[in-house]
Structure 1
Amino acid sequence: MTGPLKNETVLVVGRGGGIARAVAFAARDAGARVIAAGRDQHALAAVYAGEPGISTETVDLTDEAAIAALGERLGTVDHVVSTASARARGRLADLDRDAVRLAFDTKVIGPLMLAKHLGPRMSETGSFTLFSGVAATKIVVGTMAVAITNGAADTLARSLALELAPIRVNAISPGVIDTGAWDALGEQGKADYFADISARNPARRIGTANDIANGVLFAMTSPFLTGVTLHIDGGEPLT
């Protein structure tokens, strides 16, 4: 297969749906050999069954030993994309300490450990792509834990870009994206929320997983891009 990632290996950490799945397919279609990794390898294997160029692995971002073991099994890798998250939503009085810790562990410390154990296995032309989110730049009551976690992910990307150089490190900051993350609102609640966001943001629509996957592909294949956060959010922070 030809493409800008031909003969390169891309590790995508996350669930088997939504953004992670879109990133895996975009990287594969760009010529890469893709490894999809997450805590439930059996679920991932079912998602990618029959898909050429995509294999699956097990990793728990809250377990450094599991991350180190993944590095040993993979050997070398060209690009790492971490989409994993664990959200701790709610107002200050309702926040649970363990939920906040898990969110930070999954989205900040986990990617930090990925860099620690996989960075030495990458070539100088490799890259890491981390995930932040619009809550870091658009402060809303009820999303404080999400905001501070995403803000830390932004800082991590810049810090790693210096320490791992010339390996490139960037972050992606999605806005509201049409994935299963909003299903808990119920069908009507989700529709109402999406309608409200679409009416107010400058793009006048909700983002798609492919919008984000295209941004990740850009980050992986742009050799002069490092230490930045790409805001793929339809202009939502402006509203």
Structure 2
Amino acid sequence: MRVVIMGGTSGIGLATAELLADDGAEVIVTGRDPQKLAAVKDRVASAEQVDGTSEDDVTAFFDRIGLFDHLVLAFSPGALGGGALKDIAVDDIRSAFDGKLFSYLFAIQHAQVSDSITMISASSARAALPGTVTFAAVNGAIERIVSPLATELAPVRVNAVSPGAVDTPWWSFLPEDQRQAQFAVAADMVPAGRVGRPGDVAGAVRYLIGAAYVTGSILPVDGGFTVA
């Protein structure tokens, strides 16, 4: 099994890469940070520097690697665009879309993938939290394209995993004490009683890769946040 994980050098993408590599898959990860790529290269089959916001970079990458089985899209521009809508610069909103939604679309256009595509969205797509309008817009767009893509790209299966609050470097914009306070609040809000771990989401991605009769689905991995 040959798997490409774009955005696979940190957080959820890295946890997924390590899990699938442990399963015996040939895992190719991409990222932009040379230091992160160097740190992960011995844990996977290949680690390649690719700017997901550059269609030229993405096209050249897929031309190099040719046909493969599964594509996992885990790009993240970080917390860009967070805060009250009236206070956010329009350029930050555009950059948030470029860093995730449009990077996903570029990859899907050019990937020579035979079996499945799994996208990482976020529970902000279906939540009503102030300060998350940009996140809701980006992730809502990602979740909305799952169904038409599943039809358009069949027999390639297309699904998404939608995490809630997960302890990853995404939260690095907050000082440690504020981050832990935020996690405590998030844990109190969900039936699971804790925030997520990258491995929780990686396990869901592994399930969807192997679930041959599942397509067009959005799998929440949020501790019950969107049903609480």
TM-score bracket for this pair, using the shorter chain length: over 0.9
User: CA shift at 1:208, angstroms?
Assistant: 0.3
* In structure 2, distance between residues paired with 1:97 and 1:219: 35
> What does residue range 15-164 of structure 1 map to in structure 2 within 5 Å?
16-40=9-33, 42-51=34-43, 53-86=44-77, 87-118=80-111, 121-123=112-114, 126-164=115-153
The one-letter code matched in structure 2 to 1:164 is: L
Contact 1:107 1:131 in 2 (8 A): no
Q: 1:96 corresponds to which letter in structure 2?
A: A
Per-residue CA distance 1:18-40 (angstroms, 9 max, x = gap):
11110101111122101110223
Structure 1 residues 27 and 15, CA gap change in structure 2 (3 angstroms): closer
Of residues 223-232 and 153-162 in structure 1, the stretch that sits farther from structure 2 once superposed is 153-162
TM (norm. structure 2) is 0.94
Structure 1 spans left out of the alignment, 5+ residues: 1-7
Q: Distance in 1 between matches of 2:42 and 2:122?
A: 32
Residue pair 1:132, 1:153 contacting (<8 A) in 2 also:
yes
Query: Matched residues in 2 for 1:165 and 1:185: separation?
Result: 41
Shift of 1:106: 2.2
Match of 2:219 in 1: 230
Partner AA of 2:93 in structure 1: V
Counterpart Cα distance in 2 of 1:185 and 1:45:
24
Map Cα deviations across residues 3-26 of structure 1 (whole Å, 9 max, x no partner): xxxxx1111111522111101011
Runs of 4+ that moved beyond 4 A: none
**Equivalent position of 1:207 in the other structure:** 196
Task: Give me the whole-angstrom Cα distance separating, in 2, the residues matched to 1:234 and 1:162.
Answer: 29
| Counterpart-to-counterpart distance in 1, 2:17 and 2:8 | 11
Q: What is the distance in 2 between the residues matched to 1:43 and 1:157?
A: 33
CA distance in 2, matches of 1:164, 1:67: 19
- 1:221 and 2:210 are equivalent in the alignment: yes
Partner of 1:3: none
Percent identity reads: 37
Give 1:209 deviation, angstroms.
0.3
SS of 2:4's partner is strand
Whether the aligned pair in 2 keeps the contact of 1:132 and 1:172 (CA below 8 Å) is: yes
Structure 2 residue runs of 5 or longer lacking an equivalent are none
Q: Is the Cα–Cα contact under 8 Å of residues 15 and 44 in structure 1 kept in the other structure?
A: no
Q: Please give the root-mean-square deviation of Cα atoms over the aligned residues, in Å.
A: 1.4
- Following TM superposition, by how much is the alpha carbon of 1:84 offset from its aligned partner in structure 2, in angstroms? 0.5
Post-superposition Cα deviations, 1:63-84, rounded to whole Å, max 9, x if no partner, equal 1111110111101111111111
Q: Is the 8 A contact 2:160 2:217 kept in 1?
A: yes
Cα shift at 1:214: 0.1
